[in-house]
Structure 1
């Protein structure tokens, strides 16, 4: 659940970042995908750390 929510948050943040910089639709899509992948990886590591500590 953490991974999915982090990916969605990253996609939203990436799209907003691209829009703020004056990007077009494909720019927002690319930023959204990149941020989603990065945040999903962070969420995955957080999930692994939480599961190992329990």
Structure 2
């Protein structure tokens, strides 16, 4: 579940970063995609490190 949360937060962060830098639609898409992939990967590693409750 953390990988999806990381991916979603990465997309939001990528959109915010591209908007702040004054990017056009393709820049927004590019930043959101790259940050989403990075967030998904970081979330997957976090799932390996953080133990599951229960």
Same fold (TM over 0.5): yes
Structure 2 length normalisation: TM-score? 0.88
Give me the CA root mean square deviation.
1.6
Give the length in aligned residue pairs: 53
Structure 1 length normalisation: TM-score? 0.88
Alignment match, 2:27: 27
**Structure with greater helix percent:** 1
Identify unmatched segments of 5+ residues in structure 2: none
